[in-house]
Amino acid sequence: MMNPIETIRMARAAGMIPPDLNDPQAMIIIAAGQEMGLQPLQALRTMSFIRGRLTMTVQLQLAMARQRAGVRIESLEETADGNAVTVTLVRDGERVTVTYTLDDARRAGLVDQRNWRLYPRQMLRWRAIGDALRIIAPDVVMGLLDPEEASSLEPVDAEAWEQVLSRDSRLMRELIAQGDEEARLLRDQLRALYSAEEMRQVLANLGANSVSELTFSQARQLAIVGELRSRDRSINPPPVRVEQAPARVEQYRAEEPDEHADYPDYADYADIEWEDDDA
């Protein structure tokens, strides 16, 4: 299975990722999708960032609600003129009915969007379903908006967002030297997520000699990959910092004595040291 960085690279080359979606946003989509049980490519197909907000298509919301919460559509009715849709969803005896009209869409600033001009009936249908899902299955939807709805809202602090994007291209060395606390914490997080040997290999692949030579965006992507990997010990046991190794080795042996019977002694880590990133 490809790691998230490789998945994003291949998906972008295949045209799956829109040009306005940057790599950190794509990493967040993969991480959020994994929390909901989605495969990376499925998350990239059905989730996106619209005006600074993470979104999910109503189609996926409905599929997840059906599969995980037993939600079903009891009825779906349209008015003769096609200006309103009423949907009733049912879950464990609970029933929710929502009506969404073209006037609602007009007040929300949706009707000028291309999809609404071309497919008003279908868009009304999905908006009604989306509103009903937020009421009957909030544990599945988790507050995520659908892309059309998010596009009608004001951008999330555009000036702050521009500052975030400009920071992404700066070197960790520069940010840490300027006292950037988030950059320093990010560096420490990488130290906790990767062993020295693993980090040397990662840095070599990126053409860098130390973490301080990475951009903030690269460091953040590595942190997300490390967090994703550490959640699945069956594939990759969580990497251990040198000073943590003795306790963690004993912990693994105690938890899984058979599986970790051949786990290396701490002495095997003695020659692994982190490079001085602050130099």
User: In the chain, what are the domain boundaries?
Assistant: 1-50, 69-154, 168-265
Contact 10, 30 (CB under 8 A): no
pTM of the model: 0.56
The parts of the chain modelled with pLDDT lower than 70 are 1-2, 154-168, 229, 231-279
pLDDT number for residue 155: 64
pLDDT 10s digits, 207-243:
778 888 888 878 887 887 777 767 654 444 444 443 4
pLDDT number for residue 237: 45
pLDDT number for residue 11: 87
Residue 11 CB-half CA count within 13 A? 24
pLDDT number for residue 166: 62
- The token duo for 31 is 């991480």
pLDDT number for residue 244: 44
Contact 201, 272 (CB under 8 A): no
- Non-local (6+) Cβ contacts of 44 within 8 A are 7, 8, 11, 16, 17, 26, 29, 30, 33
